[in-house]
Structure 1
Amino acid sequence: MSAYRPLPGRDFADGLEDFDPIDIGGAFGPPAPRRIAPLGPGAILRTLAALCVVVAIGFAAYPAFASGLRLKGDVTARGDVLTLGELVEGAEPALAGRALFRAPALGATGTIQARRIAEAVAALGLGTVETGGRVQVAVQRAARRVGPPEIEAALKRSLETGYGLDARTLSVRLDGEGQALLAPLDLNGQATALDVTYDPRSRRITGLISLGERQASLRVSGVVLEMREVAVLARTLNRGERIEATDIAIERRPREGVPPDAQAAAPAPGEVAQRTLGAGSMLRAGDTAPPEVVLRGETVTIVYETPGVSLSMRGQANESGRLGATVSVLNVASKKALQATVIGPGRVSVGPAAPVRQASAALDTP
């Protein structure tokens, strides 16, 4: 015979794989064949009873799967209550509109525990809800948001109709940050300003912003500003630098902060900066001008024209000038100074206004 003993340091319950055989002598013959007895009537009855129990348990658990009820994900509520159909998939149409919970306030977000939803469904006799492992469901209440732009527009319309002001030149700076009226989604139409009061001296305004015959309303206040359009530089310009169309933006600024000589329109194409101008600054009179087409010290052509007479001579500019400016030029031949009008790049004219004898003298050679 052979016997088994546990290995040193092993627990007996560790299993037979932790044991080694020990030879104690002797020999073993072939194993005797096992005899299998047929099942008796009692054993058959016990087996059938066990099968019935298993089937009964399966049918008891069947409604949880047969109902097809499954918890939805996060929900956006559009009304005052949350219905069965908004929270659970697979609900019968006749019951989908059944209210289960109250929705959060307009624009607010809340949570509902999955356990509470399952309990509410079970109370309706609908069986078990498959949660998919979710512990809670987030619910956000949808709302129409009337923000500062709509509020300002409503107040400006009221100022125009009630106080005769030009809404196009007005801006309303509301008190507080990001004021907004939250209303149900089914409240359509334009926001209106009611009970408006305006003080022209302090420029203070108050009013009630309303939607749907005061079904939703918000009391607001602020300051009315008179605006003026001004030309503002988009980048820094150095003296003499040419101004492009993209360098200028037209903005609306409060009138009390705008200099009287501020330009309301962009300068003519081709004008240049007369001094260094910083980005964001308002253009004022004299900040820009047409470029100088005659430069001091350069050679110019002096032209004298009258009906039937056209004379030209070579000269030198004593000063710079833009188109149409009057500059002093020197007749190189006679060494005499003349007052001439700039008529183009490198060209000046003494014109009929200049004394004829002066022009004739200028043409004489020394």
Structure 2
Amino acid sequence: MTLRHPPQRRPALAAGLAIFAMVAATSASAADRPSLRGDVTVVGDLLTLGDLVAHAPAALAGTALFRAPSLGQSGTIQAQRVLGAAETLGLGPIDTAGRTQVTVTRAARHVGASEIEAAIRKRLAGQFGMDPSATGISFDGAGPTLVVAPTVTGEVTATDVTLDRRSRRVQATIWIGPSAGERQAQIRVTGSAVDLVEVAVAGRALARGETVRSTDVVLERRARDLVPADAILDGTPLEGRVARRAVGVGALMRPADLIRPELVARGDVVTVTYETPGVSLTMRAKVSEGGALGDTVGITNPQSKKVLQAVVIGPGRVSVSTAPTGRLAAAIPSP
């Protein structure tokens, strides 16, 4: 069975379709109309019509209009200047969408102090035999930065490096390029060579009373002269310790900031063990002082009043390993 529109509705339907087609055509035409761009980022040193105007005719899009900002810098161009330049080229009306200016940013690659330092350390190792993993560079003034075009992907290289072994002063020329004869950019840097030491640093903020996990501590290399004498160096286990005070992220870990959690408290009655080949004794005793794992504490048998020194080996457990068997036996009352 075929459904047919009533004859009286066909003219109305045809008119509706015609209006829809006109709206669609108008929308498509508006979408393709040349329009002023907002914020744009360019790579080259010249701004073309296509950089500033969307849907510019292909024959005109590559026409250079203005000079781009310096590498890594931003600037603005008034909309009237863009419209005037486009009109000179014969381009018709341009939709500005109410914009009065266009912000232009010149793309760049920023080579920071860390890359520059790595290049100098590499040269110091080959030229002066200095260990690159234990040597750092303290630059004069603010950290140097080398700005190049994003298309420059060559290796950061240090040449003309000088080192005064007495004062440890360093000078070097830093450049980027495929070869020394084709340097894209270069700067001269000065500073001092410093000895580095690996220290424990808080990887996240720790609240007072919080237990330290293995992932909470990271190791960083810092200048030895700037590291306090009480800083915790590489190799000290910190997992399981408790923060005595709040520790900020990136702060050096110090013994005064961390305490080992007490496994026995003063006045606790604990299990005392003594084991040697062929001998195993167990007793209950009272602790005269609190202690963490590995601490030596005094214990007293509540019945015999005998006093011994024991080592904390776990929660509520201590061990006597050096007391003579007879002395320990004497501390245990007869049934």
TM-score bin (small chain): 0.5 to 0.7
The answer for the alignment partner of 2:146 in structure 1 is 181
The answer for the alignment partner of 1:158 in structure 2 is 123
Candidates 34, 51, 64, aligned match of 1:86: 51
Candidates 18, 28, 36, aligned match of 1:72: 36
Q: Distance in 1 between matches of 2:242 and 2:103?
A: 61
Call closer, same or farther: CA 1:342–1:222 in 2, change over 3 Å.
closer
The answer to whether the Cα contact below 8 Å between 1:84 and 1:100 also exists between their aligned partners in 2 is yes
Q: Distance in 1 between matches of 2:86 and 2:272?
A: 102
| Runs (5+) with no aligned partner, structure 1 | 1-64
TM norm structure 2:
0.66
Candidates 230, 250, 253, aligned match of 2:222: 253
**CA deviations over 1:307-339 (Å, ceiling 9, x no partner):** 555554554445555556555544455444445
**CA RMSD for the aligned pairs?**
4.1
The answer for the alignment partner of 1:211 in structure 2 is 176
**CA deviations over 1:139-189 (Å, ceiling 9, x no partner):** 333222223333233223222333322333333333343642222232222
Q: After TM superposition, give the deviation of residue 351 of structure 1 in Å.
A: 5.8
DSSP-derived class of the 1:130 partner? coil
The answer for the alignment partner of 2:61 in structure 1 is 96
Call closer, same or farther: CA 1:344–1:101 in 2, change over 3 Å.
closer
Q: After TM superposition, give the deviation of residue 354 of structure 1 in Å.
A: 0.6
In the alignment, residue 83 of structure 1 is paired with which amino acid? T
The answer for the alignment partner of 2:113 in structure 1 is 148
Within a 5 Å distance, the mapping from 1:38-49 to structure 2 comes to: none
Q: Distance in 2 between matches of 1:166 and 1:325?
A: 39
The answer for the alignment partner of 2:193 in structure 1 is 224
The answer to whether the Cα contact below 8 Å between 2:286 and 2:300 also exists between their aligned partners in 1 is yes
| Runs (5+) with no aligned partner, structure 2 | 1-28
Q: Distance in 1 between matches of 2:317 and 2:102?
A: 83
Candidates 160, 167, 172, aligned match of 2:132: 167
DSSP-derived class of the 1:152 partner? helix
Call closer, same or farther: CA 1:329–1:165 in 2, change over 3 Å.
same
Call closer, same or farther: CA 1:101–1:266 in 2, change over 3 Å.
same
Q: Distance in 2 between matches of 1:121 and 1:254?
A: 58
Candidates 163, 178, 183, aligned match of 1:198: 163
Moved more, 336-345 or 227-236: 336-345
In the alignment, residue 196 of structure 1 is paired with which amino acid? V
Q: After TM superposition, give the deviation of residue 113 of structure 1 in Å.
A: 4.7
Candidates 248, 254, 265, aligned match of 1:283: 254
Call closer, same or farther: CA 1:182–1:301 in 2, change over 3 Å.
closer
The answer for the alignment partner of 2:94 in structure 1 is 130
Q: After TM superposition, give the deviation of residue 255 of structure 1 in Å.
A: 1.0
The answer for the alignment partner of 2:25 in structure 1 is none
Q: After TM superposition, give the deviation of residue 360 of structure 1 in Å.
A: 5.1
The answer to whether the Cα contact below 8 Å between 2:79 and 2:99 also exists between their aligned partners in 1 is yes
State the percentage of identical aligned residues: 47
DSSP-derived class of the 2:123 partner? helix
The answer to whether the Cα contact below 8 Å between 2:260 and 2:293 also exists between their aligned partners in 1 is no
Within a 5 Å distance, the mapping from 1:265-284 to structure 2 comes to: 265=235, 267-271=237-241, 276=244, 279=247, 280-284=251-255
The answer for the alignment partner of 2:324 in structure 1 is 354
The answer to whether the Cα contact below 8 Å between 2:162 and 2:171 also exists between their aligned partners in 1 is yes
**CA deviations over 1:80-115 (Å, ceiling 9, x no partner):** 323343344555544433333333322333444555
The answer for the alignment partner of 1:235 in structure 2 is 206
Q: Distance in 1 between matches of 2:101 and 2:301?
A: 96
The answer to whether the Cα contact below 8 Å between 1:83 and 1:99 also exists between their aligned partners in 2 is yes
Moved more, 206-215 or 308-317: 308-317
Q: After TM superposition, give the deviation of residue 79 of structure 1 in Å.
A: 1.7
Q: After TM superposition, give the deviation of residue 244 of structure 1 in Å.
A: 4.2
Q: Distance in 2 between matches of 1:335 and 1:127?
A: 106
**CA deviations over 1:239-277 (Å, ceiling 9, x no partner):** xx854446544343321233456432453544457xx55
TM norm structure 1:
0.61
Q: Distance in 2 between matches of 1:71 and 1:159?
A: 55
Q: Distance in 2 between matches of 1:127 and 1:349?
A: 93
Larger Rg: 1
Q: Distance in 2 between matches of 1:323 and 1:137?
A: 67
In the alignment, residue 257 of structure 1 is paired with which amino acid? L
Moved more, 199-208 or 298-307: 298-307
Q: Distance in 2 between matches of 1:235 and 1:184?
A: 42
In the alignment, residue 183 of structure 2 is paired with which amino acid? R
DSSP-derived class of the 1:194 partner? strand
The answer to whether the Cα contact below 8 Å between 1:334 and 1:365 also exists between their aligned partners in 2 is no
The answer to whether the Cα contact below 8 Å between 2:274 and 2:319 also exists between their aligned partners in 1 is yes
Q: Distance in 2 between matches of 1:190 and 1:340?
A: 61
Q: Distance in 2 between matches of 1:69 and 1:77?
A: 22
